[in-house]
Chain A
Amino acid sequence: MEEPFEILEHTADVGFRVRGASAAELFENAARALVSFTQEDRSGATERVVELRGDDYESLLVNWLSEVLYLVDSGEFRPHRFQVERISPYQLRARMIGEAGPAQWRLIVKAVTYHQIEVKEEGGRWEATVYLDV
């Protein structure tokens, strides 16, 4: 199956462009793009629910990906599946499926940046661009 994201070029760092049929799917796919930098482990079935806020879709996306990054890099939880249950430009509620414990990074992601960040919707197609500091 074709991945719903593509990795982008940037001199110092790395980015991805992600698509979705809805804002919820866009955010789910963006989280998948982020965890693609780890050795993926699809074994866990533990659920974790998060609720987050933002000033707009862009900051909500940075906060959402930063949440996933924190869980992975702190060794607290390694999610492999994401379900965004509720989303508006200002908040989201999502369920993550995975397992407690550290993940193995392929390339350690330091942080999610606001650099050239964009979330847009055109005719029901959602697309976002995100750059990561690695």
Chain B
Amino acid sequence: MSSLADRLEQVGDYRWRILRDERLGMRTDVVVYASKEILVHIAKDKSLEQAANVATLPGIVGPSLAMPDIHQGYGFPIGGVAATDWEYGVVSPGGVGFDINCGVRLVRLNLRREDVQPRIRDLVGEIFHAVPCGTGGKGHIDITNKQLEHVLAEGAGWMTRNGYGQERDTECTEAGGALPGADPDAVSERAKERGRPQIGTLGSGNHFLEVQFVQQVADEEAATAFGINEGQIVVLIHSGSRGLGHQVCTDYLQQMGAAMKKYNITVPDRQLACVPVQSPEGKSYLAGMRAAANFAWANRQGITHFLRQAIAKVFGKGAQASVIYDVCHNIAKQESHLVEGRKREVLVHRKGATRAFPAGHREVPQDYRRIGQPVFIPGSMGTASWVLAGQPGAMEETFGTTCHGAGRLLSRTAAQKGKDYRSVLRGLEEAGIHVKSETKAGILEEIPEAYKDVDAVVEVVHRAGIARKVARLAPMGVIKG
């Protein structure tokens, strides 16, 4: 049980606050977005302590924010958001995480549920074969060291220009699938060695690819703009920067200890290590982080390419797969936000949180600009996922950010306890969900009971005016590491 839980005070509908406590070194308040029911879960682990630790970061602007899917991470809570001053604040690699630009891409197919249901086994089998999980090392894309440099600088665009997709794919990707200011030289040789054979692979843990159908449309106008309607098939891809991003974070954390002494910074948890944004170390980390983010977009682009091949194999060349959008949920980005009526340049750390810019924002693609940025919230294996659209409340309160998933309740070992692999699979089959996984643990750890109810999480951000419901997606086929 969190010792900070009894300090929570309700400050509005679905909004709770822990006031700044100087004895804890907090420089600002913690604000949590949650219903009373979700709050009970949040108070069970260390997420509130971690959100309070984030509030100690030098140069933090506005409150340390916690989304309704918040759960205990390492250093930052997962579902945590913190903006720091671009000139005087710090950057914390822990505020991004090891899986830099872990994110979600949603692809719509010109197929309907009734077309796919009778062939779901074939489709899942083909995708499983075409999109490797990478547990055994390498994927299907061979690139040279020189080509990898281009991937790191140009992201998903390099992939589409080299036969792994269509130009429109990058137009419908956050930041166009490449962050400016990425420097391949800020990525170690080790990170490049780890990542080079892994491009176009899913990974394991909570990463997955899911064939879904649109079960229910909540906002007709937005769904039409996103090109989806009830009964339509979509594919959700959840993956990140693989070993390359993990090594970039590992490398920079190794350097942070000495750098923090130099800048006289202390933090309550070593995993919160940080340096001034404008220091040589901070600039170098951001240049490397952006390159890793670009690698992640290239990775999801590679996965999309192989997905299209698998779809064509099962349903012929007439089957089209179009990217709706692609969002990252582990990132630090330079953005302009109004804070207490004043425009400020900040670095927004989103650790398990998704950008959710509203209608009219210039970074929302033209096709969606009158609706708001598409946001995708994957549920757990076998449960629903959601398509949302960014709302003005996000710009006013959360640095243009919303939740990223259902949020775990049970540890991986607790999830596996007393569960039998075959009966879990049978249960999913009976619910009409065909699953193919590289490992048995991959299935048992991600059982629906291990997560919060995604509908309840989405309800909070919808009612809080941060992101609104557009459509609920139900799973038919799952590919896992």
List A residues at the B interface (Cβ < 8 Å).
Answer: 7, 9-14, 55, 58-59, 62-63, 66, 70, 73-76, 102-108, 110-117, 131, 133-134
Contacts and interface: CB of A to CB of B under 8 A. Distances in A.
Interface in B453-477: none
Given A11-B71, A12-B73, A133 B97 contact: yes
Contacts of B270: 58, 114-115, 117
Nearest to B445: A107
B336 interface: no
B93 to A, nearest CB: 11
A14 B135 contact: no
Contacts of B75: 113-115
A73 B73 CA distance: 22
Interface of B: 45, 71-75, 78, 97-99, 134-138, 190, 193-194, 197, 203-205, 243, 246-247, 249-250, 253-254, 257-258, 269-271, 273, 408-414, 439, 441-442, 445, 481
Given A73-B194, A74-B193, A112 B74 contact: no
Nearest to A105: B135
Contact of B194 (A7, A63, A74): A74
In the A-B complex, the 5 residue pairs with the smallest Cβ-Cβ separation, listed nearest first, are: A115-B74, A102-B137, A114-B270, A111-B98, A9-B411
B247 A70 contact: yes
Contacts of B203: 108
Given A70-B190, A133-B98, A11 B45 contact: yes
B286 to A, nearest CB: 19
A9 B74 contact: no
A70 B194 contact: yes
22 contacts: A9-B411, A9-B413, A10-B72, A12-B408, A13-B412, A14-B411, A14-B412, A75-B197, A102-B137, A105-B204, A107-B205, A107-B441, A107-B442, A108-B135, A108-B204, A108-B205, A110-B98, A110-B99, A111-B98, A115-B269, A133-B74, A133-B97
**Interface residue SS majority, chain B:** mixed
B89 to A, nearest CB: 21
Given A12-B78, A76-B193, A104-B135, A59 B411 contact: no
Contacts, number: 115
Nearest to B75: A115
A69 to B, nearest CB: 8
A71 to B, nearest CB: 10
A114 B254 contact: no
A110 B413 contact: no
A76 B73 CA distance: 30
Given A14-B412, A111-B98, A131-B74, 13 more contacts: A9-B411, A9-B413, A11-B409, A12-B74, A13-B74, A14-B411, A63-B254, A66-B250, A73-B246, A75-B137, A107-B205, A108-B481, A117-B270
B151 to A, nearest CB: 17
Nearest to A14: B412
A114 B194 contact: no
B441 A106 contact: yes
A75 B193 CA distance: 9
A29 to B, nearest CB: 19
B204 A113 contact: no
A9 B44 CA distance: 14
Given A13-B74, A111-B249, A117-B270, A7 B413 contact: yes
A91 B481 CA distance: 36
A63 B442 CA distance: 27
Contacts of B412: 13-14, 134
Given A55-B257, A115-B269, A133 B190 contact: no
B441 A73 contact: no
B268 to A, nearest CB: 12
Contacts of B45: 11
Contacts of A116: 74, 269
Contacts of B481: 108
Contacts of A13: 73-74, 412
Given A110-B98, A110-B99, A111-B250, A12 B439 contact: no
Contacts of A103: 137
Contacts of B439: 106-107
